[in-house]
Structure 1
């Protein structure tokens, strides 16, 4: 029987939630009325705009309660929930166990930033603990499989990278062609021979592709990359590889390696690069932290639902995954404005441009932007722009907001 996944959906509907408030809001002060009328003339019925002042008062609201597709601005929610449940100083870890006969087990816990530089450091440390590895065992059981993220496709594009408890380099490979030969586009990462056929099949001369064919493809790459760095560190290895959970009765913990990055660091990268893989790694890890392993989409969404509804007090929305890649996600501008109020102490983790700290979202026919505009007095305006009208952008609205908010 096919396993049903993603069955839990964060879904709340208030009676007023779908119809919204049109092009007015009684809480807007008369002095802001002109701005609201200008915004209403730009925004269509499938768009929403809201802004609030540094003191919290509402400045403008257009279709504030209309449920719309947030795209990647949704990442603000998983950032907040991860800070709440995992903590800003939390560090993911990777465990190394010894089994009889110089067998090394690598157990992952969903670290979204397990990258080449980190693996090279791990290999150097382990070279002081062992000289040879007779067999390698990978344990990715901290997350349950299959992991089906709504909206994620099967393309080789990085935004479709699959999630897992033990993944390296975001489950992607970066490459280019030079003098007729394939080479790595990242000096810290070798281009391993096993990925060449997939690169050639992509038809690209340079770029980044994902390892998404199946679960084993990603794990095979994990093993090959660890072997490369083990050899570089002077540890002898073989090609023996199995996939098996740690057995506490016979396996001895050799070393627990905490990440050199905190959750705050992870969130900075999440928001800077809008990385879908990171967003759903956080969701799965958070679900495992709160409800116990293995991490599943349902556990993650239940945890997110509780944070959204109980901690933030929001009752309108539909969340089916954490990155914003799914067009099934729905949120109101008013709810997003509440998220921004809670995220204000962490606004420095967002991308900055001029007066703005912001997060954008892009899907076909969807353009969104949410964040903060610095005020002359040092405070922060909060703004939300959700454009669900195909062919329109957030540019005119943002120009108007920046010009009208001192």
Structure 2
């Protein structure tokens, strides 16, 4: 048995090297075949290109499935569109002024009525485009704290309309007094400060804070405009009630946070920031572009007005209702959005004395189409049947075609209903539009026609 095992071992000594050589020869032969026979076939394959397996080329980019925004398959015929819109039911509608243009070329495709009309909250389209143009979409608004040489803390408002009391995790991630108090307390502790008097500074804006062109009945729809406000000046978040003194409300909320963190607050009073005060804390608003989106989607009256006051300050003026309205006229004129007969008294459209033309509203939308820095105007417009102030509309059978397609800013005050925005037709043509109604049987009839008319644009294959 031992001899037999010895012979088997000697046989393996020459068998394994032979097997290795056989395998190696087979691999070499296969490589030759691949290079000499298969490679020419791969070279002819458009998906492989030159036949190189070590660096294959990607497949060519497929042709676009949808036409580009600027290349509609068919453009709207003005006569056909006029027939469509004028054929819509108008029971109880009242007077109408409207304009529809190609959003890229500006060519008019429909007009009804003439002159100027009250825009209501469609006014926010004009003030928002001005805010984006002057302030820039990336600018942020700062709320700061300072420590004076005498040991007083100053809370200085920077005109942030979205400033919240509690920390905000949810979009748009508004700045908060919680966050500002945390960094301020850290700075005070590092300096050994345990007790302070709190001053609050809202001098970035002037007075009066309440626009005299606003009826008192809107006191729950907008707060007095100040540079320091929190939670939209609502003492109880979510409540309709607004504080008549938003700055003091914010200061008291901040004082309570300092106290809760162990910093004794000996008093709270209005106080301008001394020039020798040291900054100890800062929180920043979302970018102005995001604030504009919020303003348009939610029809935020406070934010719209505050942004215009920021524009007025940026232009070197003291911000008041009168100077802000005058600045808006100046900026709209500069942007080519002023028409004869127009008059503006605020940025949010609460004043029934505002009068603007459909041309100005449509022109603002077209500017946003043309200029990337104004694009937040478009992305902020509510989506029909989906978001913002259009979320509960476009549910009737004759307006379903507009759901998810029409993007527009609503406007509603007593006797006035408007809709301003844009839509891409069924044939791919982008249209900018403004429809303005007044009088008539009431809001229900007007809104039904506005939804109907804008949906007709969306479904237009005319």
Instruction: Provide TM-score, normalisation by structure 2.
Output: 0.68
**Which of 267, 270, 276 is matched with 1:243 structurally?**
270
Residues 40 and 70 of structure 1: CA distance in aligned 2, closer, same or farther (over 3 Å) = farther
1:334 and 2:359 are equivalent in the alignment: yes
Q: Which stretch shows the higher mean deviation, 356-365 or 335-344?
A: 335-344
Offset, 1:229? 2.2
For 1:210, the equivalent position in structure 2 comes to: 242
124, 128, 131: which one aligns with 2:186? 128
The residue number in structure 1 matching 2:451 is 398
Is 1:35 matched with 2:93?
no
> Does 80-89 or 329-338 show the bigger shift?
329-338
The structure, 1 or 2, with the larger RCO (C-alpha pairs under 8 Å, 6+ apart) is 1
> After superposition, what is the alpha-carbon deviation per residue over 1:5-56, rounded to whole angstroms, capped at 9, x for unaligned?
xxxxxxxxxxxxxxxxxxxxxx983343413533696796732122223443
CA contact (8 A) 2:195 2:264 kept: yes
C-alpha distance after superposition, 1:175-228 (max 9, x if no partner): 6xxxxxxxxx6xxxxxxxxxxxxxxxxxxxxx321012xxxx333311221022
| Residues 313 and 319 in structure 2, CA contact (< 8 A), matched pair in contact too | yes
Cα offset, 1:167, TM superposition = 1.1
Q: Label 1:156 to 1:356 Cα distance change in 2 as closer, same or farther (>3 A).
A: closer
- 1:260 and 1:151 map into 2 onto residues whose CA distance is 28
Q: SS in structure 1 opposite 2:188?
A: coil
How many residues are aligned here?
341
Query: 1:24 aligns to what?
Result: none
Q: Which runs of 4+ in 1 moved over 4 A?
A: 39-45
Equivalent pair of 1:73/1:368 in contact (CA under 8 Å): yes
**Aligned with 1:253 (options 253, 256, 279):** 279
Q: Distance in 1 between matches of 2:249 and 2:421?
A: 37
In the superposition, relative to structure 1, how do residues 111 and 133 fare at CA in structure 2: closer, same or farther (>3 Å)?
A: farther
- State the distance in 2 between where 1:112 and 1:273 align: 13
CA contact (8 A) 2:180 2:283 kept: no
Q: Is the 8 A contact 1:104 1:133 kept in 2?
A: no
Unpaired runs of 5+ residues, structure 1, are 1-26, 176-184, 186-206
Q: CA separation of 1:395/1:147 partners in 2, compared to 1, >3 Å: closer, same or farther?
A: same
SS at match of 2:186: coil
The residue that corresponds to 1:147 in the other structure is: 209
RMSD value, Cα = 2.5
Q: Which has the larger radius of gyration?
A: 2
Give the secondary structure class of the aligned counterpart of 1:47. strand
Cα-to-partner distance string for 1:53-109 (whole Å, 9 max, x where unaligned): 34433221111x321110000001111000011000010012211113431011112
Residues 146-185 of structure 1: pairs in structure 2 closer than 5 A: 146-154=208-216, 157-174=219-236
Residue number among 308, 328, 342 corresponding to 2:332 in the alignment: 308
Greater share of residues in strand: 1
Under a length normalisation based on structure 1, what TM-score does the superposition of the two structures give?
A: 0.77
Structure that is richer in helix per residue: 2
Deviation digits for residues 255-291 of structure 1, max 9, x if unmatched?
3x24140101111111121111111111111101102
